[in-house]
Amino acid sequence: MLKEKRFFITAAATVLFCTPALAPVGHVFADSSSLQQRISVLSSQQQTAHINGVYHVDQLVKFNGKWYVVDNGIAIPPIDYNNYIPVGPLTVTDKNGNVLSNQTLYKGSYFTFGKTEFSVINLTSNTVALSIGGEPVSFNRNAFGNRFVLSDQVPAAKFKVGDKVKISDKATSETNGYDLTPHRNWKGTIKSVTQYKHSNSNWEYCVEYPNGQQNVHVPEQDIILDSESPTIDLSKIKQAGINGFNSGGWSYPSGQCTSFVAGILASQGVNTSKFNYLGNGADWAGNARSRGIKVDMTPSVGAVVSFKGVPPYYIAPYGHVAFITKVNSNGTFHVYEGNWSGTSFHERDVALDNAVAGIIHF
């Protein structure tokens, strides 16, 4: 039986090349050439790491005629050959890390990685793939804690999963060459973080937008936190609103405040399903809330204000909607709107009074 096997640690053996261990987590490569290019770039960085601490032989595996160990605590489930650690570079110890004279491994033994520097094949915030004994091995990076030490430390990632960010207005392309310019100034959420050297960036991010689209390889240099976002491009916002007012669409007729705001939201990449068929301006707040969209009484740049049908400014029962472009220090806020006295564009400061049905944060 396998648990009765015993052997002596020997020099590292032949390379076991497992393509999945080299593919960055969360990435799908279009072809083998792009994979090889990414591997080449990673290799050229010459980044290494060493692993401190004592580990346990939970599994002793013979694979393709060679012996490997697995410590379940640092492996990535489901455990397979990508998690197999070649025995060559390992040092047999007791549970306290004291080196044993008998360098024989059993299931249940303890070991360390010694002082060996291992080449980093791929690194994300959650996983790491190292070249150990000439073979790629994948680990759960978080399980190491501070026992995993990069010898060629790079600056920590500026953003984390869940951060609300915006694509810079100077962004040009993703790290894989795809055009990023159509998504300049788009707001989204960080879905994954991967270490990858590109231009002035050491990290790349997957950014998902409210309309469901994603950019998977956005370099750090082209991302800013939403709270750091510069003032929105008012000229583009204005033109998008006028276009919506004139053409209509998204379930709203032309010449209306609703089509004006819908035109702006569409230009900002908001998923159409969030703002179409919301009804008259007075109905937007309630209907948006019923769709699970955040509605409150806190004005913010980029949000939409829904007004009740309260005379003399807002005709009952239709009400009104407008797009917020600025929040003033005195509590009022500035809006762009259409169909104010029939015009295609109008702007003004508004007070947060009882005419406001709600502030909608698409």
Question: CATH number, domain at 352?
Answer: 3.90.1720.10
Q: Whose CA is closest to 174, among 152, 189, 194, 156?
A: 194
pLDDT of residue 31: 35
Q: Whose CA is closest to 112, among 95, 92, 132?
A: 92
The domain that holds 58 is classified in CATH as 2.40.50.670
**Where does a domain end: 121, 150, 179?**
150
Q: Are strands 91-93 and 110-112 parallel, antiparallel or unpaired?
A: antiparallel
Q: Is residue 155 part of a domain?
A: no
* Same-domain check for residues 128 and 59: yes
Biggest CA–CA distance in the chain, Å, is 92
DSSP code of 281?
A: G
**Where does a domain end: 88, 118, 150?**
150
Q: Is residue 305 part of a domain?
A: yes
State how far the Cα of 217 lies from the Cα of 206, in Å rounded to an integer: 6
State how far the Cα of 187 lies from the Cα of 327, in Å rounded to an integer: 19
For residue 126, give its domain range: 48-150
What are the pLDDT digits (tens) for 121-134?
888 888 999 999 88
Q: Are strands 55-56 and 59-63 parallel, antiparallel or unpaired?
A: unpaired
- Total tally of structural domains belonging to the chain: 3
- Is the pLDDT at 119 greater than 60? The verdict is yes
pLDDT-derived band at 42 (thresholds 50, 70, 90) equals very low
* Same-domain check for residues 239 and 350: yes
Task: List CB contacts of 241: < 8 A, sequence separation 6 or more.
Answer: 260, 261, 263, 264, 323, 336, 337, 338, 345
* Same-domain check for residues 251 and 343: yes
**Where does a domain end: 126, 150, 174?**
150
Q: Is residue 7 part of a domain?
A: no
pLDDT of residue 303: 93
Percent of the chain at pLDDT > 70 equals: 85
What are the pLDDT digits (tens) for 160-205?
888 888 898 889 999 888 999 999 888 888 999 887 767 778 788 9
State how far the Cα of 170 lies from the Cα of 223, in Å rounded to an integer: 10
- Is the pLDDT at 320 greater than 50? The verdict is yes
Q: Whose CA is closest to 81, among 26, 13, 135, 10?
A: 135
Q: Is residue 278 part of a domain?
A: yes
* Same-domain check for residues 81 and 118: yes
Q: What angle do CA 124, 136, 104 make, to 5 degrees?
A: 120
* Same-domain check for residues 238 and 355: yes
pLDDT of residue 354: 92
Length of the chain: 362
DSSP code of 98?
A: P
pTM assigned to the model: 0.41
Q: Is residue 8 part of a domain?
A: no
Average pLDDT, the chain: 83
- The CB-side HSE value for 309 (13 A sphere, CA atoms) comes to 11
pLDDT of residue 227: 58
Buried b / exposed e over 222-240, threshold 16 CB at 10 Å, is bbbeeeebeebeeeebbeb
* Same-domain check for residues 250 and 346: yes
- Is the pLDDT at 113 greater than 90? The verdict is yes
